[in-house]
Structure 1
């Protein structure tokens, strides 16, 4: 039976990797994210070629009404949602006293509050079916902090609390809720913050990669998108039915 999957922030990076992994299983997919219309359509067709129905929804993750419409669209188009992956995220690097207020608000909205809004809209459908998987893409920064990333660290810690609370509420309804906590994955989001971090710390970009980004990862290697996607596939499987309210770290030993 084809599963119906929603992945936010899935037009690039980790989200696209997760969408590709579910497409490989023939799932019906709703993808969401920013990008040129022609590129998004190319991605949609690539995913749909795997056998499932793939639709794109342009919901802005800072706007609750658009997020609700996105979930309602998935339910009406597919007949329900089996897997919800909350992945949308942005980053900004600056000291707290210089952190732009609008950037704080935007990061909290996209990285944390959007997951609440998708879950709020999707949970009644999952409870009605007595089955479902909610997977929140958190971060090693949901467990530990780094300087100059106050909004991101706060949002990811919040995602961890939301994951645990929802897991307890849904434990007797056949719905699991878990988080994946990747370390540094070389995605467009990470690549973009390298120059910002270099500026904030007075370092070169190569120094940032070696002495800041990978300093925390004992393996000294980036996590791959495919590794995160494989974890999502596992958490969505029958084998993971009794895994709920927790997280899986994929961080090269960062939080050890």
Structure 2
């Protein structure tokens, strides 16, 4: 799974799943571009540290994934893009008739429309280079649903559909497009929620994880960012050259129910 000589752009990658994927791609030898909507010194240091840690070139480029023009500018500034990972996403929970319109618009823009803009900008370069990998981070909620998550579920279902269309439009070229569908993943954001859940439910850590947070995940274990990164590395490799237009669930059996 050697990705030396490839350049990977991972949106929403200064923390959590995106950073985990970027780190695994870098460990496999790919040069990486990190991204988020902030432009802090620590964002750029994060890329520098990742480059030193893995021995590849790592850069940080600020781009707001809620704005189509900035999504496309990210690809332009990155220059060469061999591997595009559309990971950026946000969440909001509310009943449909109470769902704030601005939250709906933001979730659709960041979780779905951004992938359209980055993909549209990256495809000409991939076609010219004769090689490309597009990996969209969907969700178990791209294949099933939960109440009170209408915008997120709609966006992630949209990502799965967009993945299939991209794959069909590139099927006769050495370009693939697939979606990874994680279940619950142990990120710093999720880790920080555990103490509050323990207090709310008056449970120990293991009980609150198994009985509350992972109620719908049959394995009763979180997926890890390293596992998602490993899946992205596989999909970027030559071994996955004929895998396109599909979803890979990393959800501990959630969507098997």
Give TM-score, length-normalised by structure 1.
Answer: 0.90
* Residues 115, 240 of structure 1: alpha-carbon distance in 2 compared, 3 angstrom cutoff: same
3-state SS of 1:255 partner: helix
Whole-Å separation in 2 of the counterparts to 1:164 and 1:211: 35
* Residues 195, 152 of structure 1: alpha-carbon distance in 2 compared, 3 angstrom cutoff: farther
C-alpha offsets along residues 12-68 of structure 1, whole Å, 9 cap, x if unaligned? 001000111111123211110145713212211111112222221110001111111
Unaligned runs of at least 5 residues, structure 2: none
* Residues 104, 193 of structure 1: alpha-carbon distance in 2 compared, 3 angstrom cutoff: farther
Written as runs of structure 1 = structure 2, the 5 A alignment for 1:5-154 is 5-34=8-37, 37-49=40-52, 50-75=54-79, 80-154=80-154
C-alpha offsets along residues 217-253 of structure 1, whole Å, 9 cap, x if unaligned? 1111111111111000000000000000001101001
**Count of aligned pairs between the two proteins:** 247
Q: CA RMSD in A?
A: 2.1
Whole-Å separation in 2 of the counterparts to 1:212 and 1:17: 25
Deviation at 1:192, TM superposition (A): 7.3
Whole-Å separation in 1 of the counterparts to 2:113 and 2:11: 13
Whole-Å separation in 2 of the counterparts to 1:62 and 1:84: 17
Written as runs of structure 1 = structure 2, the 5 A alignment for 1:164-183 is 164-183=164-183
C-alpha contact 2:7 2:32 (8 A) present in aligned 1 = yes
C-alpha contact 1:139 1:182 (8 A) present in aligned 2 = yes
C-alpha contact 1:182 1:228 (8 A) present in aligned 2 = yes
* Residues 193, 118 of structure 1: alpha-carbon distance in 2 compared, 3 angstrom cutoff: farther
Unaligned runs of at least 5 residues, structure 1: none
Report the equivalent of 1:234. Answer: 234
Report the equivalent of 1:246. Answer: 246
